[in-house]
Structure 1
Amino acid sequence: MTNDYESIKHADTIMVIGSNTTEAHPVIGAMIKERVRAGAKLIVCDPRLIELHRYADASVRQRSGSDVALVNAMMHVILKEGLHDEAFVRERVEGFEALKALVQRYTPEYAEEITGVPAETIVRAARLYGGAKNAAIFYTMGITQHVTGTNNVRSLCSLALLCGNLGRPGTGVNPLRGQNNVQGACDMGCLPATLPGYLKVNTGAAAEKTRALWGCAPPEKAGLTVAAMMEAAAKGDIGALFIMGENPAVTDADTGHAVHTLGNLDFLAVQDIFLTETARLADVVLPAACWPEKEGTCTNTTRAVQLLRKACDPPGGARDDWRTFVELAKRFGHQWRFDSAKDIFEEIRKANPAYAGMNYERLERGYLQWPCPDENHPGTPVLHKEKFARAGGKAIFSPCEWSAPHEWPDGEYPFIATTGRSLFHYHSGSMTRRGAPGRHLKELYIEINPADAKNLALAEGETLTVTSRRGSVSGRARITEKVAPGMVFLPFHFAEAPANLLTAAVWDPTSETPGFKVSAVRLSKG
């Protein structure tokens, strides 16, 4: 996130798009509701009638896969009515004329044809956002998990730049991370093209830094994303995988193909806290300590680095993740000299300049937000106050044309299926289905609109089967106005009825994030 939680209290308008915040991020959802009750305006853009729609001043139910057209139309209205921040654009952003030219044809009426959103609703949303002194955008996987996910994010960034909504409290472009330490993992270089601190692997600076720190050179080219790894493994180009804290046998797109691919590997090792569906396919399972059984740090969605304090010992032979890695390194002939999580954090400070000013002593007193370049620096709650992290200090607009998803409803598959989370479960359910939440939601349900249920002569709780070009899955029907006619929703937590049997192994060409949110399907009773 560009901004911290405190910043929410200063927002005059909040735009939530592609985020079922009160279920997937309930604490932040409560903060947003609290701010709205204090007088802030709320724009909610989601194909489903999620809880936040109840509080919305502009309730936008766009067709899944049409986000770029929606945002372009909002920018069209903002420019037409002179609601943009001319001074901010002139002083801090490049590429304005290109953006202006592109959005010119995205009239609200044209966007209505693509999005299904009435033109007057688009105008209302644009005026609420463009007319606010401070407006903040929040999004999650409903924006990124599309084959056009990168363009979705670029469009939201352009909207924020157009209205000068960056660099101060109450504003920002704020992605809510899907897991508690996704931000920290990325900061540490758990991306195929970067080292710690987002240093690109194929640069002279990367080679110089790794030689100084570790006495070796980095790879000359980037590695593979998860999606690309699975594709390479399916072709036989990868023979072994080490999977840590992930359950692709349930969560990967086109799950049937993913399970087949994992089963055909020469060797599979899985490191996890439970014997997950993926671990059951492994040649070797390494038991891992879970969060209260180990020490270290976590970096959350606001870039806040926090200490984790050990509360109890792990069971049996389970180990801290870092201890497992150190032992593996020894067997490959490397002597990593770490005796504690604190030792590792001291190396993180050297490898990632954004963490350089942090240490355990400071973190004992409370969290710090990066960038924190030296030990006298207080941390950075709000990014981009004076300049952007780009040559010359200016941002640049990224105009994007709308393009249709990888598949769209047709005569054979006339419905859209979209997947997501529920309040009671997390990810593949490997933790939550073993605990109290598992008693509240035990099996797959499928949301279907009353009109579509009537056409199928389907009653509440009866079995509904959803079929895509990849596979079929069945669950109990929930007849609800939450989904529009022509759409169904499935949570993806249930290994015995995995919703991702339906999704396609196709992805955004830039981020290589799969398009989980759009699958063309047909429905049948029973």
Structure 2
Amino acid sequence: MTEWKKTICPYDCPTSCGLLVKTDGTRILEVKGDPDHPASHGLICRKMHGYADSIHSPSRILTPMRRVGEKGEGRFVPVSWDEAISEITGRWKEILSRDGGDAILPFYYSGVMSVIQRKCGDAFFNRMGACSLVKTLCSSAKGAGYEAVMGRTGCLDPRELKHSDFLLVWGSNMKATRIQSMPVLDSARKAGKRVVLIESCAEDMAPYCDGTILIRPGTDGALALAMMHVLVREGLAAEDYLREWSCGWPGFKETLPAYTPVWAEGITGIPADVTEALAMEYGRASRPAIILGSGPSRYGNGGMTVRLITILSALTGAWGRPGGGLCGCNPGIGPCADDTIVTRPDFRTRQGRKVNINQLAQALNGSHGQDPIQSLYVYGSNPVGSVSSQAETVKGLMRQDLFTVVHERFMTDTARYADILLPATFSVEQPDCYLAYGYCTFGTAYKVLEPAGQCRSNWNTFRLLAGAMGYEEAYFKKTEEGMVEELLAHPGPGLAKATDREWDILEKGGVISTPFADHMDFKTETGKILIVNPGQPEPMPRYTSAHGGEYPLRLIAVPSGYTLNSIFLEREDLTGKRGPMKLMLHPLDAAGRNIGDGDKVIAYNDLAQVEFTASLTPWVARGAAAVAGVYGMSLSGSGLLVNALHHQRLSDIGEATTLNDNTVEVRPAFHH
């Protein structure tokens, strides 16, 4: 007998889409979108339509394994869970007694985006006193820049964009990362509203917009300042609104005369008349909305850039009108669940060493007077494919004295370096709560299938490890089902107005809408927009430069619609359509280097040389080189991926990745 059950997509997208899975109790037979989901309305990506192919893949890891080959070779033999847990905890006890908790590093990111399974390792490693991982791999500079201006004020939920009368898609490849918001662009254009794109690589999004402006990577702040210069000069800034609702406007206004469109042209590569026209169109709209992606924040000046774009979103008073303001940061009125119930910061008795996720290579190899870590525990992540400085990361993972444990579903590039490999579950094999980070929704999903083979969830694996470490706290005796109940029993402000019917949905499994924020209720210390923020390293916003580098082309990493970070690489239906590792270049940049479309090329800088296939397109800014998606090392001639060309430098605020802030030169790869 088959039945349809509700579940939720666990992956790193803003929507946390609702899914319906058809099951016979042992397998998932079909996957489709849940039409009842309040944000996705049944629209899901091609990746999740084939989710069952991943869950039941013949290449899935189903048993614990011990390495028998050299590190990186990928040769393992099966062992029992008892043997694996005994070996892991035995090694950890030795390391703790010899070197202390600062020698053990947990490493996870966005392999699963739920509350319990994603965050439960924090409690275990807090109890151990291990290193704390600073998790700033994606968009923390964007969050820090937005918060520097708006505090905890909720921005626009994408469902509010139907009220906007002009849409500025700024550095957001919505086709790959916000597919559920694409119908908003379509209906806006059908209603005669203009949609304009600002991008360094517009290959995916240009067909869905009325106009496209190509910008040099890392210079978005200069464009925002030049637009504000025009708005003030033309009397389109809402001066009364700004005097009443912001702090620091008069001082900031005095800085704007210097930021002319002609000044900006020298930095951004955008002709001054194009900036003038864009600013006028934006300023004349009553309810303009900026849909801001994370790409513009992944630079050394990323936080400042987002501050400037956020100030621009408020300059015409748009935040006071329905559909006006900014979309793409923190929506909603506050958390729905108290995640400290899961993370248990109270278990930590000493502060301990902090390791930034973007500087894993430094932690593995020892730098800045710090000893190299002695043990790495990886879950929900594939750092070899996704973290800066790949060659240095691999060098660290090759250390014979490093004890590495990886909890994974497939033989990822990171898993190949494990000493012990543990088999992990899929979302349908575990219960959890899900908070979307791009929409005001909250949901629960219960177990649909028993875990395949000997696979265990993060929660149940940490329970086993805690028992073997001798941790007696009641927390480690709870079930994952019990944790869902506990989270629902301690709701946050986001669930304060949930109705009895909505609580019934959460208790049975499903997703509800939570209230949209009041966008004029500014949740800052002053209750106003902080144009000037005395708490910032630079209180007065200004144009700052990215890190850059000595090579002529600015390298940017862009998302792929076929895969998600390094997830779905096991699916040949997706990777086959995506094709080889491509480097997108503007035809004029390629011509000067004697590079033709489809040629094999080498991109290189002071870190590495990586082979790509050239793809020539007018939709990449002059002076930029763009690479879409994360690949596996086996698909690269040298075994190196685009992240081998990324430095470990951090952003100005938010300690974030600067993966778009690197320079390269490109030459033909003359193979003989």
TM superposition score normalised by structure 2: 0.67
| Structure 2 residue corresponding to 1:232, chosen from 349, 357, 363 | 363
Q: State how far apart, in whole Å, the 2-side matches of 1:502 and 1:214 are.
A: 36
1:125 is the counterpart of 2:256:
no
1:346 is the counterpart of 2:473:
no
The equivalent of 1:387 in structure 2 is 521
Q: State how far apart, in whole Å, the 1-side matches of 2:541 and 2:360 are.
A: 28
Contact 2:334 2:493 in 1 (8 A): no
Residue 466 of structure 1: how far off its partner (Å): 0.8
The equivalent of 2:232 in structure 1 is 79
Q: Which residues in structure 2 correspond to 1:404-443 (within 5 Å)?
A: 404-408=545-549, 410=550, 413-428=551-566, 430-443=567-580
**Counterpart residue type for residue 520 of structure 1:** T
Q: State how far apart, in whole Å, the 2-side matches of 1:313 and 1:436 are.
A: 26
The equivalent of 1:192 in structure 2 is none
| Residue deviations 1:469-493 (CA, integer Å, cap 9, x gap) | 1111112221221223332211242
The equivalent of 2:16 in structure 1 is none
| Residue deviations 1:200-237 (CA, integer Å, cap 9, x gap) | xxxxxxxxxx9xx8875775589443124543333135
Aligned in 2, Cα 1:214/1:443: closer, same or farther, shift over 3 Å?
A: closer
The equivalent of 2:15 in structure 1 is none
**Counterpart residue type for residue 335 of structure 1:** A
Identity %: 24
SS of 2:490's equivalent in the other structure is helix
SS of 1:367's equivalent in the other structure is strand
The equivalent of 2:188 in structure 1 is 35
1:402 is the counterpart of 2:543:
yes
Q: State how far apart, in whole Å, the 1-side matches of 2:320 and 2:374 are.
A: 47
Contact 1:36 1:55 in 2 (8 A): no
Contact 1:92 1:387 in 2 (8 A): no
The equivalent of 1:272 in structure 2 is 408
Aligned in 2, Cα 1:128/1:401: closer, same or farther, shift over 3 Å?
A: same
Q: Which residues in structure 2 correspond to 1:127-142 (within 5 Å)?
A: 127-142=280-295
Q: Which moved more, 1:219-228 or 1:125-134?
A: 219-228
Residue 311 of structure 1: how far off its partner (Å): 3.1
**Counterpart residue type for residue 323 of structure 2:** G
Q: State how far apart, in whole Å, the 1-side matches of 2:275 and 2:624 are.
A: 21
The equivalent of 1:466 in structure 2 is 603
For structure 1, which runs of at least 5 residues remain unmatched after alignment? 178-182, 190-194, 198-209, 370-378
Residue 64 of structure 1: how far off its partner (Å): 0.4
SS of 2:318's equivalent in the other structure is coil
The equivalent of 1:148 in structure 2 is 301
| Structure 2 residue corresponding to 1:516, chosen from 651, 654, 659 | 659
Contact 1:60 1:122 in 2 (8 A): no
The structure showing larger relative contact order (alpha-carbon pairs under 8 Å, at least 6 residues apart) is: 2
Q: State how far apart, in whole Å, the 2-side matches of 1:269 and 1:276 are.
A: 13
| Structure 1 residue corresponding to 2:504, chosen from 349, 361, 375 | 361
| Residue deviations 1:347-404 (CA, integer Å, cap 9, x gap) | 47638554566685343586345xxxxxxxxx322x2434222224222114422222
Contact 1:58 1:125 in 2 (8 A): no
The equivalent of 1:376 in structure 2 is none
Q: State how far apart, in whole Å, the 2-side matches of 1:454 and 1:394 are.
A: 51
Aligned in 2, Cα 1:282/1:222: closer, same or farther, shift over 3 Å?
A: closer
Higher Rg? 2
Q: State how far apart, in whole Å, the 2-side matches of 1:261 and 1:159 are.
A: 44
Contact 2:167 2:195 in 1 (8 A): yes
The equivalent of 1:293 in structure 2 is 429
SS of 1:465's equivalent in the other structure is strand
1:249 is the counterpart of 2:384:
yes
The equivalent of 2:58 in structure 1 is none
User: How many equivalent residue pairs?
Assistant: 488
SS of 1:438's equivalent in the other structure is helix
Contact 1:298 1:306 in 2 (8 A): yes
Q: State how far apart, in whole Å, the 2-side matches of 1:52 and 1:248 are.
A: 28
Q: Which residues in structure 2 correspond to 1:69-108 (within 5 Å)?
A: 69-108=222-261
Residue 325 of structure 1: how far off its partner (Å): 2.6
Q: Which moved more, 1:46-55 or 1:126-135?
A: 46-55
Q: Which moved more, 1:488-497 or 1:7-16?
A: 488-497
1:321 is the counterpart of 2:465:
no
SS of 2:274's equivalent in the other structure is helix
**Counterpart residue type for residue 302 of structure 1:** Y
Q: State how far apart, in whole Å, the 2-side matches of 1:330 and 1:186 are.
A: 31
Contact 1:349 1:355 in 2 (8 A): no
Contact 2:156 2:328 in 1 (8 A): no
Contact 2:584 2:616 in 1 (8 A): yes
The equivalent of 2:87 in structure 1 is none
Q: State how far apart, in whole Å, the 2-side matches of 1:504 and 1:345 are.
A: 43
Q: State how far apart, in whole Å, the 1-side matches of 2:347 and 2:300 are.
A: 36
Q: State how far apart, in whole Å, the 1-side matches of 2:322 and 2:509 are.
A: 24
Residue 288 of structure 1: how far off its partner (Å): 1.8
**Counterpart residue type for residue 257 of structure 1:** E
Aligned in 2, Cα 1:246/1:74: closer, same or farther, shift over 3 Å?
A: same
Q: State how far apart, in whole Å, the 1-side matches of 2:519 and 2:479 are.
A: 39
Contact 1:419 1:517 in 2 (8 A): yes
**Counterpart residue type for residue 41 of structure 1:** R
Aligned in 2, Cα 1:270/1:166: closer, same or farther, shift over 3 Å?
A: farther
Q: State how far apart, in whole Å, the 2-side matches of 1:306 and 1:522 are.
A: 47
Q: Which residues in structure 2 correspond to 1:213-232 (within 5 Å)?
A: 223-232=354-363
SS of 1:446's equivalent in the other structure is strand
Residue 69 of structure 1: how far off its partner (Å): 0.8
Aligned in 2, Cα 1:7/1:159: closer, same or farther, shift over 3 Å?
A: same
1:24 is the counterpart of 2:163:
no
Aligned in 2, Cα 1:58/1:434: closer, same or farther, shift over 3 Å?
A: closer
1:170 is the counterpart of 2:323:
yes
Contact 2:443 2:509 in 1 (8 A): no
Residue 276 of structure 1: how far off its partner (Å): 1.1
The equivalent of 2:614 in structure 1 is 477
Residue 255 of structure 1: how far off its partner (Å): 1.0
**Counterpart residue type for residue 43 of structure 1:** V
The equivalent of 2:45 in structure 1 is none
Aligned in 2, Cα 1:38/1:151: closer, same or farther, shift over 3 Å?
A: same
For structure 2, which runs of at least 5 residues remain unmatched after alignment? 1-153, 533-539
The equivalent of 2:50 in structure 1 is none
1:112 is the counterpart of 2:265:
yes
The equivalent of 2:650 in structure 1 is 507
Contact 1:473 1:501 in 2 (8 A): yes
SS of 1:307's equivalent in the other structure is strand
| Residue deviations 1:79-106 (CA, integer Å, cap 9, x gap) | 2222222343233221112321233311
Q: State how far apart, in whole Å, the 1-side matches of 2:271 and 2:489 are.
A: 51
Contact 2:313 2:325 in 1 (8 A): yes
Q: Which moved more, 1:218-227 or 1:97-106?
A: 218-227
Contact 1:348 1:355 in 2 (8 A): no
| Residue deviations 1:441-461 (CA, integer Å, cap 9, x gap) | 232112122223333333322
TM superposition score normalised by structure 1: 0.84
SS of 1:98's equivalent in the other structure is helix
Q: State how far apart, in whole Å, the 2-side matches of 1:80 and 1:320 are.
A: 59
Q: State how far apart, in whole Å, the 2-side matches of 1:291 and 1:49 are.
A: 33
